[in-house]
Amino acid sequence: MIRSKLLATAAAVGMAGTLALLGTGNATAGVLADPSVAPGGNFDLSVWQLQEPVGSPTTIPSSRLQGANGFQDSYFYTDTRDGAMTFWTPEKGVTTPNSNYARSELREMNRSGSAANWSLSGTHRMSATLRVVSVTQNVCVGQIHLGTGGSSTKPLLELYYHSNGDIVLGTENSPSGGQTTHPVGHVSIGKTWSYTIGVSGGHTIDLTVNGTTTHYTIPSSFDPYKQYFKAGSYNQSSSDSTTKGARVAFYGLTVSHG
């Protein structure tokens, strides 16, 4: 059973691997996580579906993820030491049609079961507390991705963690492609850190990494498109190895829209 002791702030995570935050759909407070249950027992997965690097590839619906006895396997599981919701992506894995890289990653959904698909207007936030356990080159740990509105299958932005500890934001130049990168922080491998990515006012990307906030203008060419969040381990390298890859542990994950 999940213990109900509230954590005052995300900083209460302290040293990596000691505490885990419960992720909810519309709140930032957390409770201590239970390492004996599936991720759905510690996190509100009613607003997510899971994509895995197997099958054609495999998608696990929200209904199967939810609850203490929800879905978990070797690619998506609760770390029995600290309760972290953990994503593993080997370099050799099945990819989605528009990518060369494998992923074990959550895709935002509505509570009704339909795919999230929100307008740039308003305020939209995804916040996470996490650590990258291992990575060969770099891994995308959070995205805002284009939804309906045109033919593009690009992201609006991707947040990368590199093997040397650099955290880098990639912002797409237009729906047709091209990405500009922005160094936004540095955290040693295995250490806990936090981010909030979002948009406000229709044309501004707001990024906070470990308390430092930066802003980026969204080109007007993205105006026709709706958006959705993604989070997890979207590995940015590939090979024939099933043992090399990116493992990412989440201690908190929340989304909000207003």
What integer pLDDT is reported at residue 11 of this predicted model? Answer: 31
What integer pLDDT is reported at residue 30 of this predicted model? Answer: 41
What integer pLDDT is reported at residue 22 of this predicted model? Answer: 56
Question: The whole model's pTM is what?
Answer: 0.89
Is 190 within 8 Å of 132 (Cβ atoms)? Answer: yes
Neighbours of 220 (CB within 10 A): 10
Q: How confident is the prediction along the chain (258 residues), in pLDDT tens digits per residue?
A: 333 222 222 333 333 333 445 554 333 334 579 999 999 999 999 999 999 999 999 999 999 999 999 999 999 999 999 999 999 999 999 999 889 999 999 999 999 999 999 999 999 999 999 999 999 999 999 999 999 999 999 999 999 999 999 999 999 999 999 999 999 999 999 999 999 999 999 999 999 999 999 999 999 999 999 999 999 999 999 999 999 999 999 999 999 999
Cα–Cα dist 204/218, whole Å: 6
Instruction: Enter the tokens of residue 232.
Output: 């997890």
What integer pLDDT is reported at residue 158 of this predicted model? Answer: 98
Tell the burial category of 178 from Cβ atoms under 10 Å away from its Cβ (0-12, 13-18, 19+): exposed
What integer pLDDT is reported at residue 98 of this predicted model? Answer: 87
For 71-86, letters b (16+ CB in 10 Å) and e give bbeebbbbbeebbbbb
Length of the chain: 258
The H helix count followed by the E strand count for the chain is: 1, 17
What integer pLDDT is reported at residue 23 of this predicted model? Answer: 54
Cα–Cα dist 175/173, whole Å: 7
Closest Cα to residue 221, out of 124, 154, 162, 163? Answer: 154
